[in-house]
Structures are given as structure tokens and as C-alpha cells.
Structure 1
Amino acid sequence: MRAVVYRGREDLDITDVPEGPVGPGEVRLEVGFNGICGSDLHEYYAGPIFIPDGEKHPLTGRELPLTLGHEFSGTVAEVGAGVENAAVGDRVAVMPLYTCGVCPRCREGRYNVCAQIGFHGLMADGGMAERTVVPSHMLHALPDEVSLEMGALVEPMAVAYHAAKLGDVNPGSTALVFGAGPIGIGLWFALRGMGVENVQVVEPSATRRAAIERLGAATLDPTADDVPALVNDMTGGRGADACYDAAGVAPAVATALNALGAGRPMVSVAIYETPLETPLLNLVLGESRIQGSLCYTHEDYRAVIELMSRGHYDTTGWVEKIAMRDVVDEGFEALHAGRKMKVLVDPSIAIA
């Protein structure tokens, strides 16, 4: 079968690979779509970072080279012994976490921050292929109303949904989202799905502002607007009830902390490529805090899929599909250059 194999920094090989067996508790999926994630971009241009290199991952036993892809949907093609939650023909989204189940975090129910966490597609052969084998506990059934294309977006939208919850917001809250990339868009959808009406998306790129405005979002331009002053006026001096950093750059963090209300969180859901100087005095004077957010839970997956089944998410203007053969030029390079926002790889046209 055809697959996108990562061999190292800026080294992707679109090639034929053998298919592995389906063991007990596993299923083989015919991949529907696979999204290229920001984590994949970091691996391609600056890695290996998370992908094991020279030492096998403790939970999967895998290292370079391996097939990428952890944002994917598919159709069950084969079921291993003992699988009771899936049947051939089922359409599913995949929650790609490998967790140990025994570390203190897992025992506390915080398996999304497992001390040995692994991802299908980063620590095991993933979904950027025609087919892939996954443990059945990763599967989430897709209702008829949710397409395989939308199903491939459950993973990044669950990242955003999990982060949105950590802001402790309610329908009357004022929330700021910094960055209008896929996770920022997901945060806007998640917050609106939670009933929060006053969500302002802070984005310096006119192209990205226009894209999320077409979905119905209100935006602020930090290069032209005094964001903290506007939020102060908007809230009667209270400040934002929650800020979400999906940009991962120092100016966004500084602006968020200046706009944040007393005792409220700035939720960080970005990957920071360089160290940041944090204005801790702002946190001290306001008794506010920075809250990290990692991954998602099965509950987040179920919530996102339920919202999708009601037509809550809209891919217009920010999601594009490409063939596997175009994954470097029209995928990684286009995303890195900012020419595209979100790309889904369609393995069904891998050889066309």
C-alpha cells in the first residue's frame, strides 16, 4: 500500500510499504482522510522532535522511519480477535493516544498527559496511508450526519474543545482567541458550541481574519487595534474572562496577559518553538494564571462529534483536500508558507 513515510528532517518518502497484521483487539481501517497537523510541520522542518530517533518508544516499540498521520478517519476493513466495539463497514474517527495506564497521571484519570504518551502517526505507523491498523479503543463511531472528511477534523477540533473547557467559561463570558489557524478556528467553534457569544479572534493576518469572519466570527487586528483597551471598554473594566493562545508567539502572549481579567486563565494550546519571556508581574497583580492544555479525552471526542452531527462545524474557506502524491508541495510546503490553512490528504487518489 502507499504511505507517507517520515525518515528525518525535510525527508518524506511517498512509497509502498507492507501492511502489518491485525492482532487481537485491533482493527484495520481503510483511511478516509488524514489531516496534516502543526505537529507534523514541526517534525518535517525541525525534527525529529517527538518521533523517536535512535531509541524505541516505550509503549509502541517504534522509531524512525514511520508513516505519519494522527488526524484521520476511516472505514473498518478488518476486525481482530476480541473486538466488540466495531464491525466491518463502520465509519470512525480515531483518538490516536497510546497511554501506559499505570503512571500517576493515568491513575488519576489524566491519561491525556500520560508520562509515556504516544501518538499513532508519531510513535507508530499512522493514517497518512491507504490503510492503517489501530487498537479498537481508539475508535469513535461517526453518525450518518458526519462525513469522513469532517471525521478527520475531530482530532484537531477535540484539541481545541479540550482547551476551551479549561477556560472555565459560561454563556455570559468574554473570551479572546489568539490566532486564526485551525486550532484558533476550532476554539471559536468550541466556545460558540458551549454557548459563549462574545468571542473575539485576535489575528494579524488579513487573510486569516477574512477566513474566520466568513464563518461568522468577530475579529481584532493587533497591528491596528489596542486589544487590551478595547476589551477593557467591552467588559466595563473587567477584562477578558479567558484568553486562549493558539498563536505561539511572544506578542500574542503579552497581549493576552494584558487583556486578561483578575483571577482568570490564559489557556496555552500552542507549540512554542522559542523560549518566551513571561510578564509574571501581570499574573501576580491580577492573581491570574497560565493554564496549559494538551490533547483531549474521549469525552472531548464525543462532544465534538455530537456538535458535528448538528452541523455546528463549517469547513468553508479553510479546509482543502489533496492527493497523497502532492503531500510535500501542496501540503507541507503550502502550509508552511501560509498559502493554505488546513489540508486533508485523500489516500483514495494516491495513485491517480
Structure 2
Amino acid sequence: MRAAVYYGNSKVEIEDVPEPDVTDGHVKVKVAFNGICGTDLHEYYDGPIFISPSDPHPLTGMAMPVVLGHEFSGTVVAVGKGVTDVAEGDRVTIEPVYRCGECRACQAGQYNVCNVVGFHGLMADGGMAEYTVVPRIMIHHLPQNVSTELGALAEPMSVAYHAAALGGVTQESRALIYGAGPIGIGLWFALRGMGLTEIEVVEPTPTRRAAIETLGARTLDPSAIDVAAYIADQTNGAGVDAAYDAAGVAPAVSSALDCLGERRTLVSVAIYDKPIETPLLSLVLKERRIQGTICYTADDYRAVLDLMEAGHYDTTGWVETIPISGLLDQGFAQLRAGQKMKVLVDPTA
């Protein structure tokens, strides 16, 4: 079968590899679509970061080389011994988190911060291939009216949903999102799904502003207005109830903190290429908080799939599909250049 195999910095090969066999407690999936994540780009251009060159992961026993891909959906083609609630032909999406089940975080149900957390497609052969095998615990069934294309977005949309919830918002809250890339769009959908109507998205790039505006979002161009002054005017100086950084740059963090009300939270859901100095005085004077976030749990997946079933998500204008043969030039290169927003890979094309 064809697969995208990661060998290190700037080294990904589309090659034939052996088709995996299903094992006890596992499910074999024929992959329909696999999304390219920002993490994949970081591994390719800046890595290895999360993928170990030589040390086997304690939960999977794998190190580089590894088949990429952790945002995917597909159809079950085989189930291993002990799996009784998944059947051949089921359409599924994957929650690609490996967890130990024993540490304090796992025992509390917060396995996304497991002491030895791992990810399918980073610490084990992933979904950027025609077939992959995953533990039963990673399987989520797709609702009948949710396509596998949309199902492949369940992972990044769950990242956004988990982050949105950490902002402590209610239906009456006002929120501010920095960055209109895929996670920023996911945050907007998640907050809307939670009942918020007062949401602004801060984005300097015209094409990204246009894309999220097409979905119905209100945007602010930080190169054209003073965002903090605008928010202060709109809220009579109270500030927003939650802010979300999906941009990953210092000006976004600084502006977001300036826009926050007292004792409110900035949720950081970005990957930072460079160290950022935190304006601590802004935190101290208003008792503001910065909240980190990493991936999701099954609760977030269920919430996202429920919203997908209700027709809440719209992929118009920001999601496109490419063949696996175009992964590097049509996928990685154009995403890095800002020419595309979200790309799904068809491993059969």
C-alpha cells in the first residue's frame, strides 16, 4: 500500500509499505481522507520535534521512520479479537491519542495530558496511508449524514472545541479569536455551537478574513484598527469574556491580553515557533489568566460529532482535497506559503 513515510527534516517519501494486519483489541481502517495538520508541517520543515529519531515511544514502541497522519476517517475493514461493538463496513473517525491509563491525569479522565501521551501518526504509523490499524478506544462512529470528508475534520475541530470550552464561556459571553486558520475557524464554529453570538475574529490576511466572513463571521483587521481600543469602545471598557490565540505570534498574545476583562482567560491554542515574552503586568493588574490547551478527550469528539450531525459545520471555501502523490508540492509547500487553508489527502489517488 502507499503511505507517506517520515524520515526526518524535509524527508517524507510516498512509498509502498506492507499493509498492516489487525491485532487483538484493534481495528483496521481503510483510510478515506487524512488532513494535513500544522504539526505535520512543523515536523517536516523544523523537526523532528514530537517524532523521536531513535527512542521508541513507551506506549507504542515506535520511533522514526513513521507513517504520518493523525486527522483521518475511513471505513472499517477488519476487527481484532475482543472487539465486539465495531463491525466491518462501519464508517469511523479516529481520536488518535495513546494514553497510559495509570497516571493521575488518566485516572481523572484527562488523558490528553497523560504523562506519556502519544499520537497515532507521530508515535505510531498513522493515517496518511491506504490502511492503518488503531486501538478500539480510538474509534468514533460517524453519524449517518456525516461524510467521511467532514469526518476527517473531527480531530482538528475537537482541538478547537476543547480549547473553546476552556475559556469558561456562556451564551452571554463575548469572545475574541486571533487567527482565522483552520483552528481559528474551528474555534468560531465551536463557540457558535455553544450559543455565543458576540464573536470577533482578528486576522491580518485578506484571504483568510474573506474565507471566514463567507461562513458568517465578523472580522477585524489588526493592521487597520487598534483592536484593543475598538473592543474597549464596544464593551464600555469591560473587555471580552474570553480570548483565544490561534495565531501563535507575540502581537496576538499582547493584544488579546489587552482586550480581556478582569479575571478572564486567554486560551493559547497555537504552536509557537519562537519564545514569546509574557506581559506579566497585564496579568497582574487585572488578574487575567493564560490557559494552555492540548488536543481533546472523547467528550469533545462527541460534542463535535453531534454538531456535525446537526449540520453545524460548513467547509465552503477553506477545505480542499489532493491526492497523496501531491502531498509535498500541493500540500505542504502551498500550506506553508499561505496559498491554502486546510488540505485533506486522499491516499487512494
The 3-state SS of whatever aligns with 1:325 is helix
* 1:113 Cα offset (Å): 0.5
**2:323 is equivalent to residue 323 of structure 1:** yes
Match of 1:337 in 2: 337
- Structure 2, unaligned stretches of length 5 or more? none
The 3-state SS of whatever aligns with 2:229 is helix
Match of 1:267 in 2: 267
* 1:60 Cα offset (Å): 0.3
Match of 1:99 in 2: 99
Match of 1:7 in 2: 7
Match of 2:233 in 1: 233
* 1:309 Cα offset (Å): 0.6
* 1:21 Cα offset (Å): 2.0
Match of 2:127 in 1: 127
Match of 1:60 in 2: 60
Q: Which amino acid aligns with 2:346?
A: D
Match of 1:40 in 2: 40
Match of 1:198 in 2: 198
The 3-state SS of whatever aligns with 2:219 is strand
The 3-state SS of whatever aligns with 1:312 is coil
Whole-Å separation in 2 of the counterparts to 1:233 and 1:187: 24
**2:325 is equivalent to residue 288 of structure 1:** no
Q: Hey, which bits of structure 1, 4+ residues long, moved more than 3 A?
A: none
Match of 1:213 in 2: 213
Whole-Å separation in 2 of the counterparts to 1:109 and 1:142: 23
| 8 Å CA contact retained: 1:30, 1:75 | yes
| 8 Å CA contact retained: 1:59, 1:116 | yes
Q: Which amino acid aligns with 2:95?
A: M
Match of 1:151 in 2: 151
* 1:106 Cα offset (Å): 1.1
Q: Which amino acid aligns with 2:127?
A: G
The 3-state SS of whatever aligns with 1:348 is coil
Match of 1:160 in 2: 160
- Structure 1 window deviating more from structure 2 (102-111 vs 280-289): it is 102-111
Q: Which amino acid aligns with 1:292?
A: G
Whole-Å separation in 2 of the counterparts to 1:108 and 1:185: 30
| 8 Å CA contact retained: 2:27, 2:79 | yes
Whole-Å separation in 2 of the counterparts to 1:290 and 1:299: 23
| 8 Å CA contact retained: 2:307, 2:313 | yes
TM-score (norm. length: structure 2): 0.99
Q: Which amino acid aligns with 1:203?
A: E
| 8 Å CA contact retained: 1:174, 1:235 | no
* 1:348 Cα offset (Å): 2.3
Q: Which amino acid aligns with 2:88?
A: V
Whole-Å separation in 2 of the counterparts to 1:328 and 1:118: 25
* 1:237 Cα offset (Å): 1.3
| 8 Å CA contact retained: 2:20, 2:131 | no
| 8 Å CA contact retained: 1:85, 1:136 | no
Across the aligned residues of Structure 1 and Structure 2, the Cα RMSD in angstroms comes to 0.6
- Structure 1, unaligned stretches of length 5 or more? none
User: Per-residue displacement from partner, 1:236-266 (whole Å, max 9, x unpaired)?
Assistant: 2110100000000000000001111100000
Match of 1:141 in 2: 141
Within 5 Å, which residues of 2 pair with 1:65-80?
A: 65-80=65-80
Whole-Å separation in 1 of the counterparts to 2:229 and 2:270: 24
Q: Percent identity?
A: 64
The number of residues matched between the two structures is 349
The 3-state SS of whatever aligns with 1:122 is coil
Whole-Å separation in 1 of the counterparts to 2:294 and 2:58: 20
User: Per-residue displacement from partner, 1:31-72 (whole Å, max 9, x unpaired)?
Assistant: 010000000000000000000111110100000001000000
Match of 2:309 in 1: 309
* 1:108 Cα offset (Å): 2.0
- Structure 1 window deviating more from structure 2 (229-238 vs 278-287): it is 229-238
Within 5 Å, which residues of 2 pair with 1:245-260?
A: 245-260=245-260
Whole-Å separation in 2 of the counterparts to 1:274 and 1:256: 18
Q: Which amino acid aligns with 2:106?
A: C
